[in-house]
Amino acid sequence: MRGPTKTLVLGVVALLGVVAVLVGCSGGLGQAPPDAPVKIAFVPKVAGLPYFDAMNTGGLNAAQQLGAQWVERGPATVDPAAQTAILRDLITEHFNVIAVAPNDPAALAPVIADARAQGIHVLTTDTDAAGSQREVFVNQATADGVGTALVDALMAKTGGAGKFAIVSCGATAANLNAWTAVEKAYTAEHYPRAQIVDTVYAGEDTATATTLAKQILVQHPDLAGLIGQCTTAAPGVAQAVRDQQKIGQVYTVGVGTPQTMKPYLLDGSSSMSVLWDVQALGYLTAWTAEQLAQGKPLGPSNNVSLELPTVKYDATTKTILLGDPLRITQDNVDQYKY
């Protein structure tokens, strides 16, 4: 029996060695093997939007420079169940890092927890899921920075007074709701002669935003302005003003990508787009994902690239911040090609 027993033991040892190698190569654990590229999956709110296309371009650029693999998996709709299904697929595909812009943070929390339980790193980008087990939020700008910039831009056109409304996108989007809260509080404190008369939600659909904006214009014939709270609503509210021939009477501002907003900025149906460098946000997302997968800690200030030499990180909220928002007008819109 001594011979067969020894053979059996050696066979089991060899088999365990093979299993260990296979597990190490699978990438199922969040930390990539030393010689393997980090596998990063980017899950935007919805596929096909210029905003997320620009983020994807920035992420691809960073991945190429870092030697990582970057893929985009966007849902066809803003239904939270569609994002959940994509994340579940990514878990089975053994990505090292999932970077997601949640449509509904609460709905995604369970699948984020499942990914973390499998050893997969998860970060949020563009929109946070603060109550989840995400490890880092890659934030484009502070809520105060975006909200106050939008209100100030609109009030500069209306003389600091008048009625205005907000056309937002997803009703559960944490970043949009945070901006709306800032806008309401900031208006009440700094512009007492102004009044927000309505807040509506168009999903991520420009045509719906236009329709809702037109309805508001009918309901409030003395309306002075509109805020388009996301990159589909910003052109939507401007289109409504254009269609209703109210350019110069009703002013709009919003969070819109430069080239999408350019026609509206040039004809005055939009006064300003408040945004950030979206490609840089994608780059920062990929860089942060690489740091997580390699087990590298984030410092209070991070030298990400020549263009991003001092990116701040708040360890308390686990948030890395791209920087201050940009103010895009007809004078500088052509500086941005997306």
The CA distance from 275 to 233, in Å, is: 13
pTM of this prediction?
0.86
Sequential pLDDT tens for the chain (338 residues): 344 443 433 343 333 343 333 333 333 456 666 678 999 999 999 999 999 999 999 999 999 999 999 999 999 999 999 999 999 999 999 899 999 999 999 999 999 999 999 999 999 999 999 999 999 999 999 999 999 999 999 999 999 999 999 999 999 999 999 999 999 999 999 999 999 999 999 999 999 999 999 999 999 999 999 999 999 999 999 999 999 999 999 999 999 999 999 999 999 999 999 999 999 999 999 999 999 999 999 999 999 999 999 999 999 999 999 999 999 999 999 999 89
Ranges of each domain in the chain: 35-140+278-323, 143-275
The CA distance from 253 to 274, in Å, is: 8
The CA distance from 41 to 74, in Å, is: 10
State both tokens at 18: 């093979």
Q: How many CA atoms lie within 13 A of 30 on its CB side?
A: 23
- DSSP track, 130-198: TTS--SEEEESS-HHHHHHHHHHHHHHHHTT-EEEEEEES-TT-HHHHHHHHHHHHHHHHH-TTEEEEE
CATH, range 35-140+278-323: 3.40.50.2300
Architecture in CATH of 143-275: 3-Layer(aba) Sandwich (3.40)
Identity at 75, one-letter amino acid code: P
Q: What are phi and psi of 164, to 5 degrees?
A: -145, 165
The CA distance from 123 to 296, in Å, is: 14
